[in-house]
Amino acid sequence: MSLFFDYKIKVGEADLDEEVLCTKWCPNEPVLAVSTTMGHIYFYQEEGEPLPNPPIQRKSDAVVLQWSPKGKILASGWKCGTIALWSITDGPKRENQSIHRSEISMIQWSPAGHRLVTADENGVYAIFKTDQHGQLTLLSTQNRKQGAIRHCVFCLPPSSQNPGEFGRGELQQMTSSFFLGGDKGVVTFATDMGHNADVQQLRDSIDAMELYAERNRLIIITKSYLMIQLSIDEEGHVSSASKFKLSIAGENGLRSVLWAGPGLLAAATGEAMVRFWDLANDENFFLSLGALSSQGVKKSDKVICIAFNPEKRMLSAGTKDGKIIMWHCLAAAVTSKENMSAKSWEALAPQTLEKPVTQLEWGPGPNLLSASLQGFGLSIMNDTILHKKLSDNFACIQTAIDRITIEDIREESVVLKTGIRVKGLDVSGNMVVVWNGKRAEVYECLPNEMPRQISTFPTKARYIEILSNGSVDNSLIYRAVGNKIEVCNMQGVVKKNYSFSETEGAVELLDINNRFMAAATSNGVIKVFKLRSVKPEVIGSGRFEETPPAPAQPEKRSRGQNHVTPPPAKLIGSIRSIRCNSDGTKVSILSDRNHHNVNVPDTKLYVYNMDMDVVLSYEFGPVRYPTSHFWDSQEPKLMAVESLCVKGTETSSTVSKVQPNRKEESKTAEVDDDQIDVTTLFVTQDYGIQMQDCFSSDSRMDCLLGIRVPHLYFFVSPSSAENGKLIPHEKDSIPSA
């Protein structure tokens, strides 16, 4: 479950509101750049607080903003023709006022961030060489005299559809050429050495131009709604692949066009729908606002803008009536081989703002969305995951942005109102810690008493775990901060640091079970610690990677001995959740796989076996995927996994939901897309991962909280009750061994 919280921003200084021109999120930091009609560029953080840096100010207006893809440099284009660079760390960098004499119409960075292309309303474009320090060196400039240039698409060969798979040097070689398009309908092929040639002349101005990397095609949509696909060869020559007229009833051209998956193009057309063209399968469909009339969306409302978050697989749409509507992609895998349809998208509850939404921008990560309103107004929507945790004494369930329901096994509950907006929580013994990336609060929860705040302290920790040692003075906090784990007392005072190397990556996830802690890094490294005292002791380390096949031929070593060189191992995916078992010998993992820059939940549960140094897997697919996982606090071989059905594909309606080795009586059961399944598993040295039982949870049960033999614990949130409750559930008497 998640909750969107709306942070309304008053743009401007003192009591003066300023109208927003454009916004752009930094891809690496939660910093939003906002330009206004009064010649300012302001910078805001994820909860709407302005950066301490002074705003940028000129007598002109910044009409285009673009952040560098790899660094923290903002390129701004102004009405007066100035191009300026600004750094988050150093402030103003370089600027150029000599190339462009008219309003800047386009700015585009190369995928590696080493080239910057700028263009203006008169058809002049320039290519700059840039670096991570914000240096700006002019390579070439051309005056095409063919009207405003508004689109720039860098070329990538078919094998490089995911730029993140390549090093910076490889990307620099790949992306030295690009296509330009604009108001006169001319498509130009150009290189950073100054060479250029017109490759296509269209009758109308170009509304959208995108690179279809999977098929190495250039996709163009004109103002008269003609879609043209041009095949690109290695030398930049193009040939017509297809051309057809789009059936669109909207006026004034396309509002926004973007990729919503490999080969899946989405567009806001000013109609009461979002249109999709599945270019991979030559299909099209739409998501209608009329289907949301029961949720307060008028059938007469129109979609003005859209934005897509590939990490969250979420499409958001802003409307004329001030609604923000979101659809979550439910397909098992967003691949070009799978037919997408309207059934592949599930609508979430609409958010209501007071004015028409003119621009939407997803921020870095999965949870930040900015919305610009017509006239004066800007909001940052922060999607907060509602966290939950079960300890031996009680359970904590987040029910609001700043509220935690604490319930013990005797079903006595209290509501804790925190002083911060909670983005994470952990519980151990009678201790509870909550944090938001800037500050943490620690509470003690004793029976028959209200929670008592012990401390609050500033911290930039990405993740926090707490270990209760019977008293406040002896308890410890473990914080993931950058490339290290900080060991602190209850007041947040650091007592010890454990550092990870740059190769191992930044610490992103922690989990404590009994007196063992697992940590996972951004580079797929997994470490297990025994928590004896202030200094954690490493007892195992591995990587979340596939086991490479043995090489066919051994190499000859210089001393005459045969030496087998194993091929390089590949990470299985990006880790999104870890859990440590009770004796520190196994770590279970949930992950996402990146398919052409779109995150897809893996249908497997993985278990890293520390003793064998191997990653085991258990398949829940093809139509189910694990969503949460828990080890028993005493039995190190037993765990429970919650899984959901993947909706929206033909496969999910035709394949039985029976899992491997599931009981025979379940094989004829019909698939219920909304049903939560719970699977209990044994993980052993001799037999790997074996299923003990699998059943569908009661429809009243919102989510699984954990396992304590012989019970599974669920959270039930009745619609008529303000606070839910914790209930134990016993299924066929879960064995203790």
3-class secondary-structure state, position 257: strand
Bigger pLDDT: 638 vs 28: 638
d(CA 528, CA 509) in angstroms, rounded, equals 12
Kindly tell me if the per-residue pLDDT of 651 is higher than 90: no
**Residue 336 — pLDDT band, cuts 50, 70, 90?**
very low
**Residue 237 — pLDDT band, cuts 50, 70, 90?**
confident
Q: Is the torsion defined by CA of 428, 430, 435, 440 positive or negative? A: negative
Among 26-35, 176-185, 540-549, name the one with the lowest average pLDDT: 540-549
Whether the Cβ atoms of residue 211 and residue 154 lie closer than 8 Å to each other: yes
d(CA 578, CA 586) in angstroms, rounded, equals 10
Long-range contacts of 407-410 (CB under 8 A, 24+ apart): 407/725, 407/726, 408/447, 409/726, 409/728
Of the chain, the percentage scoring pLDDT greater than 90 comes to: 57
Kindly tell me if the per-residue pLDDT of 647 is higher than 90: no
At 409 the pLDDT is 67
- Provide φ and ψ at 213, rounded to 5°: -65, -35
Kindly tell me if the per-residue pLDDT of 463 is higher than 80: yes
Bigger pLDDT: 69 vs 336: 69
Maximum average pLDDT range among 234-243, 530-539, 631-640, 642-651:
631-640
Average pLDDT over residues 235-253: 84
- Per-residue pLDDT tens over the stretch 277-313: 999 889 999 999 988 988 889 989 999 999 999 988 8
- Matching residue, tokens 């209501």: 352
**Residue 90 — pLDDT band, cuts 50, 70, 90?**
confident
At 106 the pLDDT is 97
At 28 the pLDDT is 87
**Residue 338 — pLDDT band, cuts 50, 70, 90?**
low
Q: Can you spell out the DSSP letters for 379-429?
A: EEEEEEE--EEE-SSEEEEEEETTEEEEEETTS-EEEEEPSS--SEEEEET
CA 675 to mean position of chain CA atoms? 25
Average pLDDT over residues 568-580: 88
Q: Can you spell out the DSSP letters for 658-692?
A: PPTT--GGGTTPPP-TTPPEEEEEEEETTTEEEEE
- Per-residue pLDDT tens over the stretch 418-436: 999 999 999 998 899 999 9
Average pLDDT over residues 620-641: 93
At 189 the pLDDT is 93
At 335 the pLDDT is 46
Q: How many CA atoms lie within 13 A of 602 on its CB side?
A: 20
**Residue 656 — pLDDT band, cuts 50, 70, 90?**
very low
Kindly tell me if the per-residue pLDDT of 245 is higher than 50: yes
Among 32-41, 170-179, 372-381, name the one with the lowest average pLDDT: 170-179
**Which residue type occupies 208?**
A
Average pLDDT over residues 515-526: 95
- Per-residue pLDDT tens over the stretch 678-732: 999 999 989 999 999 999 887 777 789 999 988 898 887 655 344 455 666 665 4
Average pLDDT over residues 223-246: 90
Kindly tell me if the per-residue pLDDT of 402 is higher than 70: yes
Kindly tell me if the per-residue pLDDT of 167 is higher than 70: no
pTM of the model: 0.83
Write down the domain spans for the chain.
628-737
**Which residue type occupies 493?**
V
Kindly tell me if the per-residue pLDDT of 539 is higher than 70: yes
- Per-residue pLDDT tens over the stretch 346-355: 898 899 998 9
Among 597-611, 666-680, 708-722, name the one with the lowest average pLDDT: 666-680
**Residue 171 — pLDDT band, cuts 50, 70, 90?**
very low
Whether the Cβ atoms of residue 70 and residue 57 lie closer than 8 Å to each other: no
Kindly tell me if the per-residue pLDDT of 661 is higher than 70: no
**Rounded-to-10 torsion of CA 65, 71, 73, 75:** -40
**Residue 399 — pLDDT band, cuts 50, 70, 90?**
confident
Rg (CA), the chain: 27
At 14 the pLDDT is 65
Q: Can you spell out the DSSP letters for 137-162?
A: EEEEEEE--SS-EEEEEE---GGGS-
> What average pLDDT does the chain have?
85
Cβ-Cβ contacts under 8 Å for 597 (sequence gap 6 or more): 161, 162, 163, 164, 310
